[in-house]
Structures are given as C-alpha cells and as structure tokens.
Amino acid sequence: MKENLTQPIQDYLKHIYALSEAGTPATTTDLAARLGVAPASVTGMIQRLAGLQPPLVTYRKHQGALLTPAGKRAALEVIRHHRLLETYLVTMLGFSWDEVHEEACRLEHVISETFEERIASALGNPTHDPHGDPIPSAALEMPTDESTPLLGLRPPHSAVIMRVQATDPPFLRHLNNLGLIPGARVQALAFSPFDQNLQVRVNEGEAQIIGAAISAKIYVEEKG
Amino acid sequence: MKENLTQPIQDYLKHIYALSEAGTPATTTDLAARLGVAPASVTGMIQRLAGLQPPLVTYRKHQGALLTPAGKRAALEVIRHHRLLETYLVTMLGFSWDEVHEEACRLEHVISETFEERIASALGNPTHDPHGDPIPSAALEMPTDESTPLLGLRPPHSAVIMRVQATDPPFLRHLNNLGLIPGARVQALAFSPFDQNLQVRVNEGEAQIIGAAISAKIYVEEKG
DNA sequence: ACACTAATTTAGTCTAACCTAAATTATAAA
DNA sequence: TTTATAATTTAGGTTAGACTAAATTAGTGT
C-alpha cells in the first residue's frame, strides 16, 4: 500500500494517464514512442504493473492499458509534482518556459510531499502551470478546463490562449517569439480550409499566418 | 569525459571523498556502513570505478580507495549540489535544518547546472550551508576553514560555533533546543577530564553540561 | 614464527529494466 | 474469405547494482 514506485514506473503511469485520458486505452506503440523505449519493453512493464498488489493498470492482450484507481492516483501525484515544479522554476527561479520540462521530468520523481507543499504554498496553490496545463490539487483532483483548439477559431472571433501543449524547447521558443503564450489574445482574421492555415492578429500586433501543426496545439477560450 | 554518472556512483564518490579527506584511503567497511550496503558490494563497485575511462578511484587490494582528479571533481560537484540545496531549502522554502539532509540527498543527483547556478545566485553564492559545512565554489574549490572541535575549548575561553557535523534529524533538533547552532557563542566554564564533559554557557544563557559525543561534532572558532 | 580474528575479496545469484529477433494476432484491403 | 501489413507479444539475452556464502589476506598478540 505504501509504495515507493521507481522512476521508470512513474514515467509509465504518467504517459498511460496522458494517452488514456480520453477513455481509450494507451497502446503499446504509443507508449513506447513517448517513453523512448522498445514496444517489447512496454509489454513487459505493463504486465508487471498489472500484476502488482494492488494492480496499477488493467490490461488485456492487444487492447492496451488503462489505469486502476491506484495507478491513477500515482500518476496524478507525479503530474502534480511536474507541473508545480515547472511553475516554481519559471516564477521563482527565472527559468524560461522552454527550459523547465526537462528539469521537472528529473525532479518530479524525487521531491517529498513536504517539498511539494512548500512550493505549492509559495506559489499560492496555482491551478495551472506556465504552459496552461492544469495542476491536480493536493487531493489529486484535476481542474476541468473548457478550452478548445485555436485551430477551430473562425473569423471574426477572438479568444484568449489558455494552454500550449508542447514540450520541445525550440518549438516553445518559436511560439514565444510569435507571442503565442497563455494570456495572449488572438483574433481570427481568415481561415484557409485547404491547408488549414489560420490568419490571426496576436495582441493588437501584425497579422500573421499560423499552420495547423501549431494551431492544433494551442487551446483558447472565447471570452471578454 | 562527458560523464553521466548514476546516482549510486555519485553516492560512492561522495562518501569516498568524505572518508579520504584526511589523506588516508576510504576502507571497504567504512564505505559499506555509510552507504548502507554489504562490504562485498563496495568491493565490486570500487573495482568498477577504478576500471572506468577515466578511472574515478585508485585502488589496491586491501588498501582502500582514493579519488582520482576526475573522481574528486565529480564528488565535489555532488557535494556542491547537496550543500546549495540544503541552504536553499532552509532559507527560501522554510525547511528546518534537520529536514534538509534527506531531501538534498535525493535532489543532488538530478539538478542541472542551470538549476545549480540559479539557486546559488538566488542565495548570493554562499560559502557555507546551514550546518556550517563549506560549499565548493562553482570552480569546485573547497573553502578552507580554521574551526576546531568544541571538545577542545578550555575555560575561560569562548568561541563561536562554525559548524555542526551531523545529519540525524532527532540529534539536530536536540542541538537546536540547546542553542548549539552555527553563530552561537559558547563560553567554556569547566572541563571534566574523566568523562570529557564540558560545562558551557551558550549565548549568555544558563550553564549546561554537554558530553563528548556532542562536543566533538561541533566546530568552533575563537574570535572577538 | 604462529595462530587467531577481523577485514576484504571472490564466486555465484538475483532483480529491474532494458534490448533484439522471432512468433503471433489483429486489421483492413482485395 | 483470404491475405498482406502493422501491432503486439514471447523468448532469450544484457547490464547495473545489489545480495550471501565461502575463501583469502592482513594484523595482532603470544
């Protein structure tokens, strides 16, 4: 019951959570790609996780993996660590938002509950990290967000960026240069159905065109 | 050359550094005791460390281990992390000095050079941690201290506590209750050669008697 | 010089987490 | 329905880092 999960196991759970959030099981290959590991290794690990007492995942051959309640709790604990750390690194230690993912990935496995509490309260118990990702509460409740992909915004609507789902540092720096960061207001000026390009104005600035690869990863809310 | 040392290896190096600081090699058994590991495991690991390219320790059978320059650098890097972290946890996150050792032991292996720099400069590049232990500089130079064991202080001399060499939380809390913390002034009132007990006054307070087990671990400097 | 004890090393195992290659199963097209 | 392709699993192997038990070496007192 009081379990000390290894770092690899915590990583598996974190990614199973992300991939199965929509309800569909996380597949072996998707997990392998995310974890940077061979598919066969994933099969082996999933079988082990399903055999633990208590089991952390449910698993049926060729169907993929889903988290059990215990597995979900462990995953949310790691995700809370990760997102609190990212927030702390940016707001208290002057990291930029493209640097924090890697650092948080290493720290998330080793900080104590005390450390978690201290940084959470130093930050005023934030509900979202610098990328806009929701931070599970201390009770491991995930905040529910209403945001939708920027890709779906149509002229002449405007909206506020709530979330940027990306971890690649060069990509994040690029978005930062374009002003596409949480809090920014974007107005849709034109949409091209062929290539799914969106022409937008960001924060009263110059008009610019952004491709589908970008606008699908940015989540906005129409408000104000 | 660009080495990613594992956490166990970093721990070995750290403890070899501590045990061989005086110049005498670190013995298998002492290392085993410190690392909480069987002596045979230490032998195996030391042989591996001596066989790395470049070697991190020098080793001759039954003689114990000494750090090579590369090994010493790696050890000092970890020790710098550890002591900066302890300092940061105490001064920026409200940890008490008995809580920080364990936390720093886990964090020291995973923080980046960037993280190290940021906390060092947030703290004003401290040279000593909350226990008074010297913090190696960014260039890995260890500050040299002049302090001597409180055990050697004789009436009517007085001195200032510079360093407390201990990690056990209950013990540290006890010292804290006695006021025996870095910065405190102690005056020797009497010394009993039989049991090595020392009667002292701490910070103008009540006289109290402290045993050799304590006064040997507290380092002071006579000044002022 | 000898013998006893304590320290150390060797030899052989174990487990977690990975790998590759081969075998199997599912999926989708003809 | 059959078959090709892609996904998955099985089987077998590797490595780091630990363990125990047995063998060896060093150090000390006689």
- The average pLDDT across A32-54 equals 97
User: Domain of B137?
Assistant: 80-144
Integer Rg of chain A from CA: 19
Burial B95-109 (b: 16+ CB within 10 A, else e): bebbbbbebbbbbbb
Neighbours of B211 (CB within 10 A): 12
Residues A41 and A14 in one domain: yes
- Model pLDDT, residue A3: 66
- Model pLDDT, residue A144: 95
Q: Which of A134, A130, A149 is nearest to A217 (CA)?
A: A149
The interface predicted TM-score (ipTM) is: 0.92
A199-208 pLDDT, tens digit per residue, is: 999 998 899 9
- The average pLDDT across A76-82 equals 98
Neighbours of A155 (CB within 10 A): 13
In a domain, A75, yes or no: no
Query: With an 8 Å Cβ cutoff, are A106 and B110 in contact?
Result: yes
Question: B179: buried, middle or exposed (CB in 10 Å: 19+, 13-18, 0-12)?
Answer: middle
Window A:119-138, CB contacts with B under 8 Å? 119, 122
Amino acid symbol at B13: L
Burial A50-81 (b: 16+ CB within 10 A, else e): beeeeebbbbeeeebbbbbebbbebbbbbbbb
Residues A181 and A206 in one domain: yes
Residues A87 and A46 in one domain: no
B35-66 pLDDT, tens digit per residue, is: 999 999 999 999 999 999 999 999 999 999 99
The CATH code of the domain that includes A112 is 1.10.10.10
Is the pLDDT confidence value at B155 over 70?
A: yes
Query: With an 8 Å Cβ cutoff, are B103 and A114 in contact?
Result: yes
Residues B155 and B214 in one domain: yes
- Banded pLDDT at A2 (limits 50, 70, 90): low
Give the residue from B107, B119, B121 with the most A CB atoms within 10 Å of its CB, the best one to mutate: B107
Residues A90 and A109 in one domain: yes
Between strands B207-210 and B197-202, the pairing is: antiparallel
Is the pLDDT confidence value at B2 over 80?
A: no
Does residue A182 have a cis peptide bond before it, meaning omega lies within 30 degrees of 0?
A: no
Is the pLDDT confidence value at B3 over 70?
A: no
- Model pLDDT, residue A223: 82
In a domain, B212, yes or no: yes
Residues B156 and B217 in one domain: yes
In a domain, A74, yes or no: no
Q: Does B117 touch chain A (CB under 8 A)?
A: no
Q: Which of B14, B81, B78, B80 is nearest to B49 (CA)?
A: B14
In a domain, B187, yes or no: yes
Residues B10 and B59 in one domain: yes
Split into its structural domains, chain A has a count of 3
Last residue of a domain, one of B144, B174, B193: B144
Query: Which residues in chain A have their CB less than 8 angstroms from residue B116's CB?
Result: none
Last residue of a domain, one of B144, B160, B182: B144
Residues B140 and B153 in one domain: no
Name the one residue in this structure whose structure tokens are 């059978």. B61
Q: Is A136 left (phi over 0), alpha (psi -120 to 50) or beta?
A: beta
Last residue of a domain, one of A14, A41, A67: A67
Let me know: does B163 contact B133? Beta carbons within 8 Å. yes
Task: Indicate the SS3 state at residue B200.
Answer: strand
Task: Give the CA dihedral A189, A193, A195, A201, nearest 10 degrees.
Answer: 10
Residues B139 and B152 in one domain: no
Let me know: does A97 contact A181? Beta carbons within 8 Å. yes
In a domain, A72, yes or no: no
